[in-house]
Amino acid sequence: MRETYLYPYSAEEACRRGEQSLWRASYLENIDCKDAIQKAVRQHYDGDHLDKKCLTEVIQEFGYKRTAWVLANTVQQLEWGGQYSSENKAWASQIYIPPDKLHNLSFVVPTRSAVLDGVVDQYRTAYRALGLFGPSQCEPNSFEDLNYEGKVLVLSSDTLKETYWTPQAQLWYVI
């Protein structure tokens, strides 16, 4: 899997932070990921059926985080004219993509929205298969009690490198 950092801010914010090189490397990687998704669709869609392994190589090469970023950006940018399921629209809206009209369109996957909806379904299925803990397995409002001593904490997968994306790696006992 490629190791380019997924930069979470806009180009404008990167300039303010002096992190233009990080942003640019991530931006170019987003475009490469978009191209890989487009190529995978061409190879795995026969005009009527999308092969179940369409995203396998993309996820292996770019990882879950970047693949999600590019797919969510595509749905967000094209939501107004797309045939996306309400579940996929809701999923995409939960991923924060910083507004950047000049650059975000550069990594929109150019394929029919109905086909891309199937690709997003495949991504979400592959992610769920990892069995990671999510907000639904946590105590609501548990952040209000700051005394975590003697408790098991669940770290968000977003805080972990993908090489540690296992349910076991998410659990931490506070001494």
Which of 134, 129, 137 is closest to 64 using CA atoms?
A: 129
Radius of gyration of the chain (CA): 18
Q: Are 142 and 111 in a shared domain?
A: no
Residue 12 is classified by DSSP as H
Between helix 113-128 and helix 86-93 the angle, nearest 10°, is 70
Does residue 140 lie within any of the structural domains? yes
Q: Are 43 and 87 in a shared domain?
A: yes
Q: Are 154 and 74 in a shared domain?
A: no
- Torsion-angle region of residue 41: left (phi > 0), alpha (psi -120 to 50) or beta? alpha
Q: pTM (2 decimals)?
A: 0.90
Q: 81-139: per-residue pLDDT in tens?
A: 678 999 999 999 999 999 988 899 999 999 999 999 999 999 999 999 999 998 777 77
Does residue 102 lie within any of the structural domains? yes
- Residue 27: predicted pLDDT: 97
- Residue 93: predicted pLDDT: 94
- Residue 90: predicted pLDDT: 93
Q: Which domain holds residue 154?
A: 135-173
